[in-house]
Amino acid sequence: MSPATGPRAEGAAGPRILGVPGYEERAFEDFLSPGDLLVVNDAATLPASLFARFRGARLELRFVSPPEGRTARVLLFGAGDYHTRTEDRPPPPVLRPGDLLELRTSIARVTHVDPQFLRLLTVELDAPAIQVAYAEGYPVQYAYIERPLDLWDVQTPLAGRPWAVEAPSASYMTSLPALRRLRAKGVSIATLTHAAGLSSTGDARLDAALPLAERYELPLATVAAVNLARTEGRRIVALGTTVARALEGNALRGGGELEAGRFETDLRLGAESPLRVVSAIYTGVHEEGVSHFGLLEAFRPADDLRHALEESARRGFLTRVRRRLVRRGRLI
């Protein structure tokens, strides 16, 4: 499977989408029917990568979650930048509470070090953290992207509140004109905001713990739309794993019922997870062994997902833009 080496060009053809099961290729809108409820994530992506110096050494900080006030939870990286694969970067020094990190426009004081993962820190900046991020931060980037990303490159068509550390990439599948056509077709659309987190850390033990707990906000209007769809027996389709995790995490904490508000979920869906809300999901291709593949086993058996991987590779899909819609039990 070949990775894409840059953002999709303006005006390029839309993403290729493979249905599971059935493995037929259709346009994004063609998998949805009148009466369906499509729930989307409207989080914008933060410039969540910042560089700092500690005792002369250049380090990188990546937000783990959206900062609050002057406080940020970050993951520390050693020397280097996105040109080097995360797993090949040298380990950073072990920091302790009270240590100071010198950023270009601010100072960050370490207030907490995670006892299990010493690279996970809580820091207090001398200015609002989001202000510092927009003053000197960069989008989180990985080595398979050849050129530096602009902040615009990591914004989805639905971007609103800047909460995501990495882009909720399933939202790249659609566009505002496509959503207007879906509404005209009789598909309902609802939003939530989920702070999509880091997808890779370079540490196999920490990667195995992903996704970490993530913040989300569920509007009252979305709760009402989902409840009505459930009552009427209509499909609820999640645009991306962040949407599925927010809805299912909220239903789990509420004993099956949704509650509007701002929450955090540490839910990890898998083959044994009952789905209380979501009927189907649009998602990117995820290789076996990563947490997102395990999440999709809540929707389809692993053999179906492996076959989808084989089919997408055979058809020449690119890893960044390959997409599929998965539905429990039967073909969409």
Note the pLDDT tens digit of each residue in 282-300: 987 667 766 778 788 888 8
Contact status, residue 204 vs residue 210, Cβ threshold 8 Å: no
Q: How far is CA 191 from the centre of its chain?
A: 15
The verdict on whether omega for the bond into residue 162 sits within 30 degrees of 0, i.e. cis, is no
Cα–Cα–Cα angle for 137, 139, 143, nearest 5°? 125
Structural domains in the chain, sorted by start: 17-45+148-327 (3.40.1780.10), 49-136 (2.40.10)
pTM: 0.88
Give percent of the chain with pLDDT exceeding 70: 89
Residue 101, pLDDT score: 98
Note the pLDDT tens digit of each residue in 234-277: 999 999 999 999 999 999 999 999 999 999 999 999 889 999 99
Q: How far is CA 95 from CA 92, 203, 290, 316, in A?
A: 9, 17, 29, 45
Higher pLDDT, 330 or 236: 236
Q: How far is CA 306 from CA 48, 161, 291, in A?
A: 33, 35, 14
108 is written with which tokens?
């960050």
Average pLDDT over residues 171-192: 94
